Structure 1
Amino acid sequence: MLTQIVDSLRPAVTAAVARGRLRDDVTAETFAMTTVGPLVHRRFLVGVTLGLETVESVVDAALRAWAPQQRTE
């Protein structure tokens, strides 16, 4: 299952890195782990039904974590 998720994310992550929207050390695998991992945990281990707001907050947190560092010169 994780392989399918990673393969689905790969084009978007690759494009985001190429555009400078994500750090160049981000891979589809690492991005999947920081997004899918928390969602699977909440859904299947905690038993919470995932709503759009929850999914968006997890993805937004991952995007912030993997964003390129802003240069302050």
Structure 2
Amino acid sequence: MSENDIVIENRVKDIARRGSYENIVWAVNEILANNSDIKGIEIDGGSFTENTYEWSGGLFRRTDMKFTEYSKQEPRVRVIR
């Protein structure tokens, strides 16, 4: 894991803790657009791959139901290369 990956992971964690679903989508799409070497970003069982406005995995269902409850937890984030 590179230092850049750690910076990206911490940024996504911060947004996930205090932001809305739309903020996470916007931020992750921006990261993916500016880092062509990143294949995707996994967030607590859900993941973004390429530029997309949909989640894959379980996070979409949880955030869709009640994001504020999830946002109080420490999300697990991983950059996929």
> What is the TM-score of this pair, normalised by structure 1?
0.35
Larger relative CO (CA 8 A, sep 6+): 1 or 2?
A: 2
> Which protein shows a greater Rg?
1
> What is the TM-score of this pair, normalised by structure 2?
0.33
More strand by share: 2
